Amino acid sequence: MKVLKFGGTSVGSAARMKDVAKLICDGEQKIVVLSAMSGTTNSLVEISEYLYKNNIAGAYERINALEQKYFDVIEDLYSTAEYKVEVKKELKSHFEYLRSFSKSVFTLFEEKAILAEGELLSTTIFQLYLKEKGENCALLPALEYMRIDKNAEPDTAFIAENLTKQLALQPDMMIYITQGFICRNFYGEIDNLQRGGSDYSASLVGAAVKADEIQIWTDIDGMHNNDPRFVEGTKPVPVLHFEEAAELAYFGAKILHPTCILPAKLNNIPVRLLNTMDPNAAGTMISNQSKKGKIEAVAAKDGITAIKIKSGRMLLAHGFLRKVFEIFESYHTPIDMVTTSEVGVSVSIDNAKRLDEIVNELKKFGTVTVDREMVIVCVVGDMNVENIGFQAKVVNAMSEIPVRMISYGGSNYNISFLIKAEDKKRALNALSAALFN
Ligand code: ASP
Ligand code: MG
Determine if the pTM surpasses 0.85: yes
Sequence ranges of the chain with CATH classification 3.30.2130.10: 296-435
The alpha carbon of 274 is separated from its chain's Cα centroid by a whole number of angstroms, namely 15
Given a cut of 70, whether residue 8 has pLDDT beyond it is yes
Q: Which residues contact 35 (CB under 8 A, 6 or more apart)?
A: 5, 6, 7, 8, 10, 11, 41, 118, 119, 122, 180, 181, 198
Beta carbon of 287 within 6 Å of any ligand 1 atom:
no
- Which one, of 209, 182, 289, lies nearest residue 242 by Cα? 289
Q: What is the pLDDT of residue 272?
A: 97
Cα–Cα distance, 285 to 271 (Å, whole number): 6
- In the chain, residues under CATH classification 3.40.1160.10 are 2-219
Q: pLDDT above 70 covers what percent of the chain?
A: 99
Atom of ligand 1 nearest to the CA of 196: 8
At residue 226, what is the residue type?
N
Mean pLDDT lowest among 329-343, 381-395, 418-432: 381-395
Distance, in Å, from the CA atom of 157 to the CA atom of 162, rounded to the nearest integer, reads 9
> Is a pLDDT exceeding 80 seen at residue 130?
yes
How far is 44 from 50, CA to CA, in rounded Å?
10
Distance CA 384, CA 196 (A): 32
pLDDT at 252 over 80: no
- Split at pLDDT 50, 70, 90, the class of 316 is low
Just give the CATH number of 2-219: 3.40.1160.10
Measured from the CB, is residue 36 less than 6 Å from ligand 1?
yes
Q: Which CATH number fits domain 296-435: 3.30.2130.10, 3.40.50.150, 1.10.10.10, 3.20.20.190?
A: 3.30.2130.10
State mean pLDDT over 115-142. Answer: 98
Of the listed ligands, the closest to the CA of 33 is 1
Range scoring the smallest mean pLDDT among 45-49, 289-293, 426-430: 289-293
Indicate if ligand 1 lies below 6 Å from the C-beta of 181: yes
252 in ligand 1 pocket by Cβ < 6 Å? Answer: no
Q: How many residues does the chain have?
A: 437
Closest ligand 1 atom to 42 CA: 4
Whether residue 358 has pLDDT greater than 70:
yes
